[in-house]
Amino acid sequence: QVQLVESGGGVVQAGGSLRLSCAASGGTANMGWFRQAPGKEREFVAGITWTLPDYADSVKGRFTISRDNAKNMVWLQMTSLKPEDTAVYYCAADAGPGIPRSPGGYDHWGQGTQVTVSS
C-alpha cells in the first residue's frame, strides 16, 4: 500500500503561483495530480511516468509536473493561476502502464490539499 501526502496548497491571487508537493511511501510507475471543485467531478490535471509528463489541456503551458524517483516525490508547479483553478488537489499513484486520465485508473490517493485562487 502506497501512502501519499500532499502539501503546498493555499490562497493566491489570480496570476500567482503555487507549488504542490506529494511525498510517497514507495515508488510507483505513474504519479498523477487530480483536482475537484465543489459540485464537480474529480478531473485529471497532470501525470508523469518515470520520465514522461502528460497534461490536461486546461493547464498545459501553465502547470509543470516533475518527480524525483530517488526521493519518491512529485511536484506540481502551478503558474498564471486562474480562479477556475480553485479546487482540492489530490496526488495519485498507479502501477501503470500508461498515464490514466480517469480517477479509476489510480490505486492510491492522498488526502488532498486546498488551492484557492482569488480574482
- State whether residue 30 is helix, strand or coil: strand
* pLDDT over threshold 80, residue 25: yes
Q: So what's the pLDDT on residue 111?
A: 97
Give yes or no for a cis peptide into 53 (omega within 30° of 0).
Answer: no
- State whether residue 91 is helix, strand or coil: strand
Q: What are the pLDDT digits (tens) for 46-84?
A: 999 988 999 999 999 999 999 999 999 999 999 999 999
Cα–Cα distance measured from residue 79 to residue 69, given in angstroms and rounded to the nearest whole number = 23
Residue 23 to residues 9, 79, 119, Cα–Cα distance (Å):
14, 21, 30
